[in-house]
Amino acid sequence: MTITVAIDCMGGDHGPAVTVPAALAFVRANADARVVLVGPEETLRSCLGGAVHERVTLRHATQVVGMDEPPSLALRSKKDSSMRVAIDLVRQGEADACVSAGNTGALMAISRFVLKMLPGIDRPAICAALPTMTGHTHVLDLGANVDCSPEHLLQFGLMGASLVSAIEHHERPTVGILNIGEEEIKGNDVVKRAAELLRDSGLNFIGNVEGDGLYKGDAEVVVCDGFVGNVALKSSEGLAQMLGAFLREEFGRSTLSRIAALLAMPVLKRFKNRLDHRRYNGACLLGLKGIVVKSHGSADVFGYGFAISRAADAARTGVLARISERVAQLHPQLETA
């Protein structure tokens, strides 16, 4: 089976300077894969610089969705944008998945409009993996939905568990719900009700996970409201950046500490590699009738390659069919309030 991934080459902070070389490297490393590069043909050709590959094709698109463009405008007026054409390829069955580092809101809106939702799922959710003490955990939603009902959180649990069981070949991954542990309160009513639904869902539900539990690896899948998930993800990014900056500052403070840094370099490099956020690049937009992966806008070639791999893996392992199956099993519980 050959997997075809459509690449929105114009999305992201660096556009084709990153997306084209990443796509080339990806097909070279994956003999079962093809890519379709989407964007203005001349731009793509100049980025390829004469490189040709039988599993790389180009698809011309004249427009580009701006990083700050309102999603509704992008949806209405950018019907020939690289983003839209890449998503169209998925709908038409010409690609098995698409990847974009562009405007998240526009990607969500256009994907939803073009691909539609899977039956039984109300809203798409953004799902990504985070590193933990023991491996990694998949968290959703990371920002697509700011007001979730208990039924939405249940749907997130089904989708996240389907994704993990598909790509990690682990049939019953543990699922937790992000909550707070203050004695008096233990979460709001939505979270309490969602926990009840998850408990009755047949998933391997382990109950509440607190913020620090995300990194302890308490559960393989953690569900939360997109507002909370986004704040947890971004505050973690901010903290990691701050710690990195402090570490560099302290190692640069004196001649002696610079010598220590030199000696500690292999160790610090291993430490850095282990946490390299580029290896975690690529968030799945789950719940659509098609595979859409969002890369970080600032991703480099190395990081963008991980997003393409994630899209190909989701297609290879049949994530959509697994989500549909689980949803069908649980249909009565999924009706939203």
Residue 271 beta carbon to a second copy: minimum distance, rounded to whole angstroms: 5
Residue 252 beta carbon to a second copy: minimum distance, rounded to whole angstroms: 9
Residues of span 287-326 touching a second copy by CB under 8 A: none
184 binds a second copy (CB under 8 A): yes
Span near a second copy by CB under 8 A; candidates 9-17, 21-29, 206-214, 317-325 = 206-214
Span near a second copy by CB under 8 A; candidates 158-166, 232-240, 280-288, 322-330 = 232-240
245 binds a second copy (CB under 8 A): yes
Q: Which residues on neighbouring strands pair with residue 201, listed in sequence order?
A: none
Q: What long-range pairs does 28-32 form, CB within 8 A, spacing at least 24?
A: 28/53, 30/3, 30/309, 30/312, 32/1, 32/2, 32/3, 32/316
Judged by CB, which is closer to a second copy: 238, or 318? 238
> Which residues, in sequence order, are CB contacts of 253 under 8 Å at separation 6+?
none
89 binds a second copy (CB under 8 A): no
What would the two tokens of residue 12 be? Answer: 């992201």
Residue 70 beta carbon to a second copy: minimum distance, rounded to whole angstroms: 7
Separation of alpha carbons 231 and 3, rounded Å: 34
Compute how many other C-beta atoms are within 10 angstroms of the C-beta atom of residue 35: 28
Residues of span 138-177 touching a second copy by CB under 8 A: 143-144, 146-147
- Which of 11, 21, 40, 71 contacts a second copy by CB under 8 A? 71
- Which of 182, 255, 332, 335 contacts a second copy by CB under 8 A? 182
CB 189 within 8 A of CB 337: no
Sign, CA torsion 327/328/334/335: positive
How many helices (H) and strands (E) in the chain? Answer: 12, 11
Span near a second copy by CB under 8 A; candidates 39-47, 185-193, 306-314, 316-324 = 185-193
Residue keyed to tokens 């704040």: 231
| Strand 204-209, strand 221-223: pairing | unpaired
- Which of 29, 51, 239, 321 contacts a second copy by CB under 8 A? 239
- Which of 17, 58, 117, 231 contacts a second copy by CB under 8 A? 231
259 binds a second copy (CB under 8 A): yes
Separation of alpha carbons 222 and 41, rounded Å: 41
Judged by CB, which is closer to a second copy: 105, or 120? 105
